[in-house]
Amino acid sequence: MSLTDTTIALLQNLIQNGCVNYLTADSGQETKNADTLEAFFAGTDVRVERYEPHPGRVSIAFTVEGTDPSAEPLTLLGHTDVVPVDEDKWTHDPFGGEIVDGRVFGRGATDMLYITAAMAACVRDVARGERPRGTLTFVGCADEEARGGLGAAWLADHADFSWANCLSEEGGSHLPAADGSDALVVVVGEKGAGQRRLTVHGDAGHGSAPFGRDMAVAKIAEVARRVAAIEPDLRSDDIWEGYVRAWKFDPDTEAALLAGSGYDAFGQLESYSHAMSHLTISPTVLRAGGAINVLPSVAWMELDIRPLPGQTQEEIDALLRDALGEIADDVEITHLITEDGSVSPTSGPLYDAILSTFNEFFPDVPVVPTIAAGGSDLRFARRKGGVGYGFALHGRGETLGSVLGELHSHDESAAVEDVDLTVRAYRSLIRRFVGA
């Protein structure tokens, strides 16, 4: 069986295990995918380490020791959990792993089980041959979809593998440049988290007599209106400017985008491109009351806020208070999950290996560094002093927009062509970087 066929079969098994993360401690049950991966590596000369910080929430690492302790190590971080599904919205079995019209369907097919399967297949292939010069590790991480508290965040403090050079999701899709030329995306960083809960208080009372009452619901509605009206400033840097120029727009469009307007020029990537260049604030949860005949005395809303690398939590609070104006003193601001954004350099041995690998498959195509709007396990590598990049490879027809559109979608799928390209690209990069 070819390496690609092996990867597709493993991908189907991982999908079928249905390790759904409902953002609760007892969900996920990634032990099923850990068991599948451990069976997959059976009979190979790898060091296997299982980590279980909570029952059923298993991450598993497979390490092929290098022959040269001074050689650069490489760690591949693939997560094994997936997000929930609305089954009635799917036309394919979300946990079937069916192949239809050249695509593998199933929850997690794109996010990120096709990459996880490719990583595992390539590391097993190395383990069956001569030892590499540098140490190579593949990790099936639990709990990535809940920001890694029972996965990579825990592993960063307890696991015994290198974080110096890491690869994970997502990269290698194409930018649809305005002149029809090609460009490849590599993810070099990601936004952080600045989650907030905004709470207001009012008068309790009977719903039949609202006159003269200080209404918490009315107050939180005004808070929501003011927050929704916030328009953070453009944050321009070399990555943003390089991204805009890679599209090869006409001079007027390019100038407008560099100044922070005209995002509709990006088409399907309008929202992503805006998020890549701005702090974003999304009101996502609103709560007040419990009985229809009782005036609630408290109401709150929660905000999914994503800062860019370099933007601080203090800046976020100042922005919120400025928007709230004269009612700011009546609003309690509570920090929920807060994490700084992170970015790796567009230079160095691993980055150069990525460029060389892309050039092998798509000769002379420019590579465009980008910042992910969401999170990944790579931020933990960066916090520990390592570098981390999103790496995969897609066919020419798979744009950054089409790949992002698959994430968490109904009928999520990955193209068989992309599975093949990704496994071959990983095998090539591994050979290039650790001498396997």
CATH number of 105's domain? 3.40.630.10
Q: Using CA atoms, how far apart are residues 117 and 36, in angstroms rounded to an integer?
A: 11
The residue behind tokens 């960066």 is: 382
Same domain, 263 and 196: yes
Residue-level pLDDT at 436:
76
Give residue 59's Cα distance to chain centre: 18
Same domain, 331 and 357: no
- Burial of 16-41, coded b for 16+ CB within 10 Å and e otherwise, reads ebbbbbeeeeebbbbbbbbebbbebb
Show which of 339, 368, 403 is a domain's final residue.
339
Same domain, 294 and 347: no
Residue 42 three-state SS: coil
Half-sphere CA count of 14, side-chain side, radius 13 A: 35
DSSP 203-265: --EETT--TT---HHHHHHHHHHHHHT--PPP---HHHHHHHHHT---HHHHHHHHTT--GGG
Handedness of CA 138, 4, 90, 373 (dihedral sign): positive
Cβ-based neighbours of 5, under 8 Å, separated by 6 or more: none
Show which of 339, 360, 393 is a domain's final residue.
339
Residue at 114: amino acid letter: Y
- Output 373 or 73, whichever has higher pLDDT: 73
Residue-level pLDDT at 275:
95
Structure tokens at 281: 């604030």
For the whole prediction, is pTM greater than 0.85?
yes
Q: Using CA atoms, how far apart are residues 8 and 42, in angstroms rounded to an integer?
A: 18
**Domain of 300, in residue numbers:** 190-339
Same domain, 417 and 386: yes
**Interval 397-434: pLDDT, tens:** 898 988 888 888 999 999 999 999 999 999 999 999 99
The overall average pLDDT reported for the chain is 96
Q: Is the pLDDT of residue 323 over 80?
A: yes
Task: Judge whether 380 and 153 are in contact, CB under 8 Å.
Answer: yes
Same domain, 159 and 206: no
pLDDT band at 343 (very low <50, low <70, confident <90, very high): very high
Same domain, 316 and 208: yes
**Interval 50-87: pLDDT, tens:** 999 999 999 999 999 999 999 999 999 999 999 999 99
> Domains in the chain: how many in total?
2
Residue-level pLDDT at 404:
86
Q: Using CA atoms, how far apart are residues 181 and 178, in angstroms rounded to an integer?
A: 7
- Beta-bridge partners for 286: 301
Phi first, then psi: give them for residue 165, nearest 5 degrees. -135, 110
Structure tokens at 338: 């807060």
Phi first, then psi: give them for residue 210, nearest 5 degrees. -85, -15
Same domain, 409 and 320: no
CA neighbor of 389 nearest in space, from 208, 189, 123: 189
Same domain, 83 and 160: yes
Once rounded to an integer, what is the mean pLDDT over residues 4-11?
A: 97
Residue-level pLDDT at 406:
82
Phi first, then psi: give them for residue 33, nearest 5 degrees. -75, -30
Residue-level pLDDT at 107:
96
Half-sphere CA count of 256, side-chain side, radius 13 A: 11
Same domain, 203 and 145: no
Residue-level pLDDT at 1:
81
What's 132's DSSP letter?
P
Same domain, 310 and 362: no
Q: Is the pLDDT of residue 167 over 90?
A: yes
Same domain, 355 and 424: yes
Show which of 339, 360, 392 is a domain's final residue.
339
DSSP 62-121: EEE--S-TTSPPEEEEEE--B----GGG-SS-TTT--EETTEEESTTIIIIIHHHHHHHH
Residue 375 zone, left/alpha/beta (φ > 0; ψ -120 to 50; rest):
beta
